[in-house]
């Protein structure tokens, strides 16, 4: 056994903080590496040692193997923990650590290599009697053959990149006429993300559940599973909510799936933390192997909460050569745990990622709540990394009680300054089908009205407008230095009310009010509201509206007011200028970047004739690729986008003429 006394964490954000916490518990020195964008991040301060390794782009920092290895040797690290993503499943990096005499805290290189290709993984599982989805996983990767195989399997089919994960290089194809275009797009996205464009094709299960089993092995041939996690609530193949135990699980099914997971682990001589993912067919009751993630999962806290285990500690112990300290019979679940992922993204705009500064981040003190986060108040969300803000985990005795607590947390969590999916998460938790456990991987698409989530009731918008107006009024009052004896907003004609104009999306809202003898009277639309300001500070107000007291959390950035209340959720209002502002001139036929992005590929040339729906430019933001398509037929007139460059939201990419 080789004792580990210091660990370099080759990752960032919340997973770096998570590993640091266990290092401290075990008396192990933690060494963080950080990029320019992360210079002031919480994990950098939490580590015992922190080393700058390069610019913000992952290729120049967290993916630079030379820098990671050099830093480990310079700081005398005994081991490297890769977290998840980045280099965590890179077999070359694992082999390099072995060569340099640095312990890699993860499975052996052979296991990673075997699972690094989904095609090789499927073939290996077939050999070891693990059920797999019918499909094609051959070496001939020509578009022509892949097209023929897809037709042979029968539509719908799922295209999957054999390398990597996270939904990149994946496409569902419902009919033959779209298959060639989908194959080419999946190959291009896979090559961009993983440097490998190999695909497999699988029969697409239209009503399925995504269930994964945590596995653990050691260097002495032992392997166990640590129960299951239900991960079916997804969008764009990215998990949104995970829970354990699964709502459909019974002891018979758990025994069968668990045995298959352990069998997969033993087929790989697996010796650390991993996850075996299955698709469960709701119609037939059958389950099929999908893949093995040869690393710690984002959602590992769910398993830790129901079992009481520290999976990071178990990883470190296994990497030292210690045998597993528990057997399969020792694994018992207690209660229920759920995790939701808070993202910087706009639900109303097809979940496009959002950048900016989180001015305020606070969450309530609730028993059983665990928050894993990479940010704090004043943290910045950049274009370079995944837009996840925090993982919010609740553990309680039963599924219903944990759901109730999670709803309370989501209603009272304050994350202001940018757009997040907070209301979207709460909407899922409040859905009756979700509460009953009646969902599959298409739940978000088929069961939720995303436009309705983005909308707010008239009362919610009104209360947000009143709160924002009161906040502005109070701020002005605090700054008054002259004529303090005169009431605020005094008019020689009392009938002339004060007002604020706000914009909520496309809707304009005028909030009028009068202040007299310590009380307000507000007028919004046809309604009148008696209001008293009970208390206020820089970031919140307490107001009595129509006899009911409400607490509002408020931040302001430029002309934007971010208002949060447990009843109305999060509302963003833009305060309109009193005098008209000259609008930026819109370019006729122009196509702009919808968000801060990197230009991946320009698909057209000047002078090209394009049809409506044709791809123009491929952009990437926060590890997600999007294609800007032509809105109408036309000819490309001028191109301003340059491949590889980073652009701000609104940047003019190209111009077309009819």
Active site residues: 295
Q: How far is CA 422 from the centre of its chain?
A: 12
3-state SS of 82-123 is CCCCCCCCCHHHHHHHHHHCCEECCCCHHHHHHHHCHHHHHH
What is the Cα–Cα distance from 373 to 643, expressed in whole angstroms? 33
Q: CB atoms < 10 A from the CB of 566, how many?
A: 15
Cis-peptide into 156, omega within 30 deg = yes
583 Cβ contact list (under 8 Å, min separation 6): none
Using DSSP, state whether 69 is helix, strand or coil. Answer: helix
Say which residue the tokens 């005795």 belong to.
397
Spatial neighbors of 557 by CB under 8 A, at least 6 apart, are 357, 359, 417
- The answer to whether 557 and 471 have CB atoms below 8 angstroms apart is no
* Cα 619 to Cα 374: distance, rounded to the nearest angstrom: 25
Q: How would you class 240 by CB atoms within 10 Å of its CB: exposed for 0-12, middle for 13-18, buried for 19 or more? A: buried
**580 DSSP 8-state letter:** P
Preceding omega of 245 cis (within 30 degrees of 0): yes
CA distance 468 to 488: 16
What radius of gyration, in Å, describes the C-alpha atoms of the chain?
Answer: 27
Q: What are phi and psi of 323, to 5 degrees?
A: -70, 155
What is the Cα–Cα distance from 409 to 145, expressed in whole angstroms? 51
**Residue found by looking up tokens 């093995």 in the block:** 292
Contacts (Cβ under 8 Å, ≥6 apart) of 396: 335, 336, 368, 402, 405
Q: Give dist(CA 304, CA 18) in Å, integer.
A: 12
Measured CA to CA, the distance from residue 395 to residue 73 in angstroms comes to: 40
């Amino acid at each position: 056994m080789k004792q580990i006394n210091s660990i370099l964490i080759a990752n960032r954000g919340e997973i770096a903080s998570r590993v640091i916490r266990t290092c401290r518990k075990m008396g192990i020195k933690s060494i963080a590496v950080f990029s320019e964008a992360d210079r002031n991040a919480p994990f950098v301060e939490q580590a015992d040692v922190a080393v700058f390794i390069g610019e913000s782009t992952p290729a120049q920092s967290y993916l630079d193997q030379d820098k990671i290895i050099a830093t480990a040797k310079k700081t005398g690290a005994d081991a490297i923990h890769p977290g998840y993503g980045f280099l965590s499943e890179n077999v070359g990096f694992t082999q390099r650590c072995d060569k340099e005499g640095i312990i890699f805290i993860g499975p052996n290189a052979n296991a990673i290599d075997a699972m690094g290709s989904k095609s090789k993984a499927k073939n290996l599982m077939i050999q070891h009697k693990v059920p797999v989805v019918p499909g094609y996983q051959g070496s001939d990767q020509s578009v022509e053959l892949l097209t023929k195989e897809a037709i042979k399997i029968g539509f719908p089919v799922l295209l999957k990149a054999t390398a990597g994960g996270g939904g990149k290089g994946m496409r569902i194809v419902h009919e033959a006429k779209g298959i060639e275009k989908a194959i080419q797009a999946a190959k291009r996205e896979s090559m961009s993300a993983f440097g490998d464009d190999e695909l497999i094709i699988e029969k697409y299960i239209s009503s399925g559940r995504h269930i994964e089993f945590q596995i653990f092995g050691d260097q002495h041939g032992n392997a166990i599973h640590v129960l299951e996690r239900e991960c079916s609530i997804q969008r764009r193949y990215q998990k949104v909510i995970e829970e354990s135990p699964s709502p459909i699980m019974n002891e018979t099914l758990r025994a069968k799936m668990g045995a298959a997971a352990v069998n997969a682990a033993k087929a790989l001589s697996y010796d650390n933390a991993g996850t075996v993912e299955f698709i469960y067919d709701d119609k037939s009751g059958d389950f099929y192997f999908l893949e093995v993630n040869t690393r710690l999962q984002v959602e590992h806290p769910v398993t830790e909460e129901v079992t009481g285990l520290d999976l990071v500690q178990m990883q470190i112990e296994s990497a030292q050569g210690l045998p597993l300290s528990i057997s399969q019979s020792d694994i018992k679940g207690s209660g229920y745990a759920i995790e939701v992922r808070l993202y910087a993204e706009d639900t109303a705009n097809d979940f496009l990622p959002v950048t900016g500064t989180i001015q305020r981040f606070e969450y309530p003190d609730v028993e059983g709540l665990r928050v894993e986060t990479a940010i704090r108040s004043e943290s910045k969300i950049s274009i370079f990394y995944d837009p996840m803000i925090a993982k919010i985990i609740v553990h309680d005795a039963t599924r219903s009680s944990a759901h109730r607590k999670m709803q309370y947390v989501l209603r009272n969590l304050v994350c202001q300054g940018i757009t997040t999916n907070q209301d979207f998460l709460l909407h899922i938790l409040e859905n009756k089908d979700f509460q009953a456990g009646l969902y599959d991987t298409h739940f978000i698409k088929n069961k939720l009205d995303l436009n309705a989530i983005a909308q707010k009731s008239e009362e919610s918008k009104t209360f947000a407008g009143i709160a924002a107006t009161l906040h502005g009024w109070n701020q002005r009052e605090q700054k008054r230095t002259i004529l303090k004896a005169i009431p605020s907003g005094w008019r020689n004609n009392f009938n002339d009310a004060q007002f604020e104009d706000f914009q909520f999306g496309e809707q304009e809202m005028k909030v009028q009010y009068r202040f007299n003898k310590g009380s307000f009277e507000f007028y919004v639309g046809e309604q009148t509201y008696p209001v008293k300001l009970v208390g206020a500070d820089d970031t919140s107000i307490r107001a009595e509206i129509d006899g009911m007291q409400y607490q509002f959390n408020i931040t302001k950035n430029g002309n934007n007011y971010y208002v949060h209340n447990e009843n109305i959720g999060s509302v963003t209002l833009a305060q309109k200028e009193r005098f008209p502002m000259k609008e930026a001139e819109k370019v006729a036929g122009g196509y702009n970047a919808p968000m801060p992005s990197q230009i991946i590929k320009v698909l057209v040339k000047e002078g090209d004739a394009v049809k409506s729906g044709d791809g123009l430019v491929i952009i990437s933001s926060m590890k997600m690729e999007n294609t800007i398509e032509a809105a109408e037929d036309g000819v490309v007139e001028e191109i301003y986008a340059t491949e590889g460059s980073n652009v701000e939201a609104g940047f003019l990419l190209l111009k077309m003429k009819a």
